[in-house]
Structure 1
Amino acid sequence: MAGAWRCMLAVVALMCMCLWGSTEAVGGAVSRPRPQRRPPKKPKVVEPIEVVPSAQNIDIQRMTGAWYLLNTASKCSYLINHGTKMEPTVMHLTSSPNSDKTLSVSTKTRHNHMCWEILQVYHLSTTPGKLTLKGPRPELDTQIAIGETDYDSYAIMYYHKRGKITMKLYARSSYDLSEPMLTKFEQLAEKQTMGLAFLFPFPTYSHCGTVDQDHVISEFYV
């Protein structure tokens, strides 16, 4: 009989120990490690993107004169939404009379059935073929590179602003360039991850002549 009582006491004691242990585990706020605060995130560093290198030994004076815009490669949302409504556009480059470090730029195009003139100043850099269109703040500057040109028939220009690149194909006349040149422009655009969906041809007829002086603006950003 005494042996049976000893067995029962041992079982009860073992059950109490198990219950005490489980209570310690369930309510174990003391033994639970204190949550650690996450370290503050380091500010993201935005690396500057280098503009596409310009062609070698660009003679900026030979770039002056009229250039007709034939095609544009861009991921600009405005072009994507209105790319079928582009108007004929012509750019005139002129040496600034008061400085040998700038170019005066006049771009004529249509808007709301009226001819507009967009006046800009391109600042020349020490690297031939590279220019800057200054914005309201330095981070809004547009870096411009003349990628290819023969001065007499075509020019391919790159416009780099806030990490995005726009390419433009210009011609000395309003007539279409040869098919090989258009194909070459498409291939260069493809290298900038801009396929056919991001190419926007411009009309080659009905360019503006005289401009309504009431519609001359001084700034236009690419």
Structure 2
Amino acid sequence: MKGLVLSFALVALSALCASGDVPVQPDFKQDKILGKWYGIGLASNSAWFQAKKSLLKMCTTVITPTADGNLDVVATFPKQDRCEKKSMTYRKTERPGHYLSKSPRYGSDHNIRVVETNYDEYILMHTTKTKGTEVNTIVSLFGRDKSLRPELVEKFEQLAKEQGLSDANILILPQTDSCMSEA
């Protein structure tokens, strides 16, 4: 039992340490990130990502405010011959640009930071996902359009590598017309 408690404590500590050095957009303005975004890049060290990354394509993500000041985030993505939606609520923390969320479907906890955005072109996000003793890093790049300037893609790749992810963990999502109008 002591080993199990120690194991959980170490996982929690490593999650805090891993996310502790991740910056958040200075003077973050939540209302400016509302609306439709395209998923441009995704990087993760999760086993799921490694197994599925050859099947992943660009998705749309729509961010809307909730009545209590949080964010509803709905991603629509092509999956086989249909469009699938994944919804989460990002709960604000005391620090603007920092959110917490729990996946109702998978039971995982998400610690989300808006690392950088200019609001009308791109968002760079960092997420630490914890489920049981498994802790994964996710770095995401979203654009208001389906393609972004090369230097923004490079910024995304650099952030992913700074978070310990390798080239094998980084994917620029292939563009598609599937499910782009569903959002």
TM-score between both structures, scaled by the size of structure 1: 0.69
Distance in 2 (CA, whole Å) between partners of 1:120 and 1:135 is 7
Q: Is the 8 A contact 2:60 2:75 kept in 1?
A: yes
Q: Which amino acid aligns with 1:94?
A: T
1:204 aligns with 2:175: yes
For residues 86-115 of structure 1, what are the alpha-carbon distances to aligned partners after superposition, in whole Å with 9 as ceiling and x for unaligned?
Answer: 12211000011x222x11111111112101
Distance in 2 (CA, whole Å) between partners of 1:172 and 1:64 is 11
5+ residue gaps, structure 1: 1-39, 212-222
TM-score between both structures, scaled by the size of structure 2: 0.82
Q: How far is 1:152 from its partner?
A: 0.8
The answer to which of 127-136 and 84-93 deviates more is 127-136
Give the aligned partner of residue 153 of structure 1: 121
Q: Which amino acid aligns with 1:183?
A: E
Query: How well do the aligned residues superpose, as a CA RMSD in angstroms?
Result: 2.1
Structure having the larger proportion of residues in strand: 2
5+ residue gaps, structure 2: none
Give the aligned partner of residue 108 of structure 1: 76
Give the aligned partner of residue 41 of structure 2: 71
Distance in 2 (CA, whole Å) between partners of 1:41 and 1:117 is 39
Distance in 1 (CA, whole Å) between partners of 2:103 and 2:34 is 23
Q: How far is 1:67 from its partner?
A: 1.0
Distance in 1 (CA, whole Å) between partners of 2:90 and 2:3 is 40
Q: Between the two structures, name the one with larger relative contact order (CA 8 Å, sep ≥ 6).
A: 2
SS in 1 for 2:53: helix
Q: Is the 8 A contact 2:50 2:169 kept in 1?
A: yes
SS in 1 for 2:54: helix
SS in 1 for 2:89: strand
Aligned length in residues:
167
Q: How far is 1:48 from its partner?
A: 4.8
For residues 46-94 of structure 1, what are the alpha-carbon distances to aligned partners after superposition, in whole Å with 9 as ceiling and x for unaligned?
Answer: 1253322312111000010111011111111122122121122110000
